[in-house]
Structure 1
Amino acid sequence: MTPLRSLLLTAGSLLFGTATAQRADPPADLRQFSEQRIRHQKTLGLTLGGYALANIAVGSIAAGQTSGETRYFHQMNVYWNLFNLGIAGVGLLGSRKRTEEGETLAQAIRQHENMKQVLLINTGLDVAYVMGGLYLRERAQTRPDRADQLRGYGTSVMLQGGFLFAFDLVNYLIFKNRGDRQQERLLQATPSGVGLVLPIR
């Protein structure tokens, strides 16, 4: 057996043993770290879902009672928030299946980092939505036959993108500031020190 293979097998055995021990009896701090992330994810889904339902209800009523640019504004609010409602529903279903039980430190940290990345990527997309809304409003100047529709849709997309930008950015900062401190304490408290995880796919 080559020295490299022997080293890899030894390291694998140690990592497997540590993971098994963590899975069997996760520390209280680790459970709290995982529980907090899962609760926050559920709150995200409920907040987005509630916002979407309110927009759908208001937009559906207002679209039937208005005309011109305002009518198209409310129409787009409904369309946009049907999509938001779907995202919130999928997120809530996924969070119901997650549990902190049996989650290792490496898994908890990976989930925490993944959530931060998703929120940060979404924040960038939200800026693109606002810019897309601006583009629609600008295009209305060259399309007088569809000016009301383009302006109404553009204003709605800018509003929805602005809300999502604030929503995603605030939640990213909460995840980062609160979760990163907990993550650091957990890593410092690990008796075996900090390890490097190299995913093999």
Structure 2
Amino acid sequence: MKFFLIVFLIFCSCGSQAQQRDTLNIEGLHQQRIETNRKGMWVLTGWGALNMGSGIIGALSTKNAEVKAFHTMNALWGVVNTGIGVLGLLRAQKEKRLYFSDADKYKAYKNSKKLYLVNGGLDVLYVGTGLLLRAKAGQANNPARNRGFGNSLIVQGAGLLLFDATMYLSHQKQHRYWKKAAPEFAVTENGLGLVYHL
């Protein structure tokens, strides 16, 4: 978890430096969005691979049912997160080659923020489910397994919440630059419109 936090701090500082260099250019902001997502997908892929590796090793090296369940669930989350990260990296590569109008660039920026916001809500749900599994473990047929799964959901949900919150805030920092770079857009939280001056 400490490794994950350190990577995020480095990631955040790199993103803000690049933003300061190119604050008022729509294409620059668009490329910054893609680059922010690309870096995030590398972090997610690394987090997934770490959980996959440590989960497999942990599950195979213990006889404790709760610990085995914890590591097994972490390994499964690792497979999913690694897959999502790799797909995200491929998408970032593809986006660099695609044509986007200025309106499309802003729409993609808003959609990125929305995605991480929705995912953050799901992360809270994962943590809540983990807490519920732990709390109700005594009533289950296999209490040790439920506690292990619950602990894993709490760890994974908290890690992903940190990831999604960081990604959302990294994109949100661009909002004021979008308003300066594209004054012809009516940039609101409800939609995108064009402003015509007569």
TM-score higher than 0.5: yes
**Number of residues of Structure 1 aligned to a counterpart in Structure 2:** 165
Matched, 1:109 2:100: no
1:186, distance to aligned residue in structure 2 (A): 1.2
Letter in 1 for 2:104: Q
How far did residue 181 of structure 1 move? 1.7
CA distance in 1, matches of 2:65, 2:193: 59
CA contact (8 A) 2:26 2:182 kept: no
Partners of 2:147 and 2:35 in 1: CA distance:
39
Q: What is the distance in 2 between the residues matched to 1:155 and 1:119?
A: 23
Q: 1:34 to 1:100 in 2, by over 3 A?
A: farther
Match of 2:44 among 44, 48, 53: 48
How far residue 101 of structure 1 moved from its aligned partner, in angstroms, is 6.6
Question: Is there any run of 5+ residues in structure 1 with no aligned partner, and where?
Answer: 1-27
Per the alignment, residue 27 of structure 2 pairs with 31
Partner of residue 147, structure 1: 143
Whether 1:156 and 2:152 are equivalent positions in the alignment is yes
Matches within 5 A, 1:1-201: 29-66=25-62, 67-99=64-96, 102-143=99-140, 145-177=141-173, 179-188=174-183, 190=184, 194=186, 196=193
Instruction: Give the fraction of aligned pairs with identical amino acids, expressed as a percent.
Output: 31
> CA RMSD of the aligned region, Å?
1.7
Partners in 2 of 1:63 and 1:100 — Cα distance? 42
Amino acid in the other structure paired with 2:30: S
Once residues 128 and 59 of structure 1 are traced to their aligned partners in structure 2, the CA distance between those partners, rounded to angstroms, is 22
> Residue 102 of structure 1: CA displacement?
4.0
Equivalent residue, structure 2, for 1:14: none
Q: Which amino acid aligns with 1:162?
A: A
The two structures have a TM-score, normalised by structure 2, of: 0.78
Q: 1:110 & 1:68 partners in 2: Cα distance?
A: 48
Q: Distance in 1 between matches of 2:96 and 2:161?
A: 28
Structure 2 unaligned residues grouped into runs of 5+: 1-23, 187-191
* Structure 1 residues 146 and 101, CA gap change in structure 2 (3 angstroms): closer
Cα distance between partner residues in 2 of 1:101 and 1:153: 41
Q: Deviations over 1:162-182 (max 9, x none)?
A: 0111110121111102x1022
Question: What SS is found at the alignment partner of 2:153?
Answer: helix
